[in-house]
Amino acid sequence: MNNKRISIIGVPMDLGQRRRGVDMGPSAIRYAGVVERLEKIGYEVHDRGDIEIGRPDKFDVVDEGNLKDLNEVVKANQALSDTITKSIGDGEFPLILGGDHSIAIGTLAGVANKSDNLGVIWYDAHGDLNTGDTSPSGNIHGMPLAVSLGIGHPSLTEIGSYAPKIKPENLVLVGARSLDEGERELIREKGIKVFTMHEIDRMGMTKVMEEAIAHVSKNTDSVHLSLDLDALDPHDAPGVGTPVIGGTSYRETHLAMEMLAERNIITSAEFVEVNPILDDKNQTAEAAVGLIGSLFGEKLL
């Protein structure tokens, strides 16, 4: 990474889904030594603290249109977008720690605001391409990619006061293995590039990442990485809210991060869905810190 100044922004959001504990994810990643790891490899780290997350008056509020805790999710993501915009304006690389994946709505609003043509690598077991109409649960953490494409409730799509944030041709999904029918239809309709676990198994991670990097590097001026720890197999990352067996290994994901570091294309990143309550001795947060180290160029020799 050419930018040696990193701003860490924690988002202790747990309202985008139903399993409590993911709000402690930023603290768990900090406890696992992310600041020290980055400083050791030569970065100047500015920890901007955590975005304040409001609480609904009544838990499990369905505000409207099958969208749970909509008002609080909107407020937090707008605050996150503003913080990221300031961070980039100050010349820093924004590194966002979650929290559930609904925070990507604010992340993409903030980074796209400073980009004319943003590319996105979405490293995740899920598509996160649902809307209130297609979601089986109404959980907004399953909707951030659709929202960022300009599809969904206006209060979500208009965060940052513009939409869409990204174009489908500048997006690639890596590691998908659990897609709802509405997500499959949207992928086909928009022609979104997806590498499922089938492609990773057949082609290998090296070839998948080569093609993914080429895809998001074409006609873009910056590239955001959104990494959900549930992309990893639950054996390597047990502390996540929606584990899906048969994911990428810790080593495969390290390789993916190392390849991104070598190509030096990532201009912002987020690591989400670490839930220490469901974890084993902070294993998932430590995995996140190891992957962050590799993304930022950490080497054995």
Q: Annotated catalytic sites, by residue?
A: 101, 124, 126, 128, 141, 228, 230, 273
123 vs 229: CA distance, rounded Å: 8
Cα–Cα nearest to 290, from 103, 117, 40, 100: 40
Q: Which amino acid, one-letter code, is at 135? A: S
DSSP 245: S
Contacting residues for 213 by C-beta, under 8 A, at least 6 apart: 259, 260, 263, 265
Q: Which residues pair with 95 in a beta bridge?
A: 8, 269
**230 annotated as belonging to a binding site for a ligand:** yes
Burial class (CB in 10 A: 0-12, 13-18, 19+), 5: middle
Cα four-point dihedral sign 224, 106, 44, 256: negative
**215 annotated as belonging to a binding site for a ligand:** no
Q: Which residue shows structure tokens 């899920």?
A: 126
Helix H or strand E segment including 226: strand 222-228
Q: Which residues pair with 223 in a beta bridge?
A: 119, 266
Q: Which residues pair with 174 in a beta bridge?
A: 123, 195
Pairing of strands 67-68, 62-64: antiparallel
**233 annotated as belonging to a binding site for a ligand:** no
**153 annotated as belonging to a binding site for a ligand:** no
218 vs 12: CA distance, rounded Å: 34
What are the strands, taking DSSP E only, across 229-286? 266-272
**126 annotated as belonging to a binding site for a ligand:** yes
**Cβ–Cβ < 8 Å for 285, 274:** yes
Rounded to 5 degrees, φ, ψ at 33 are 95, 30
65 vs 7: CA distance, rounded Å: 35
The binding site consists of 101, 124, 126, 128, 228, 230
Annotated binding site for Mn(2+): 101, 124, 126, 128, 228, 230
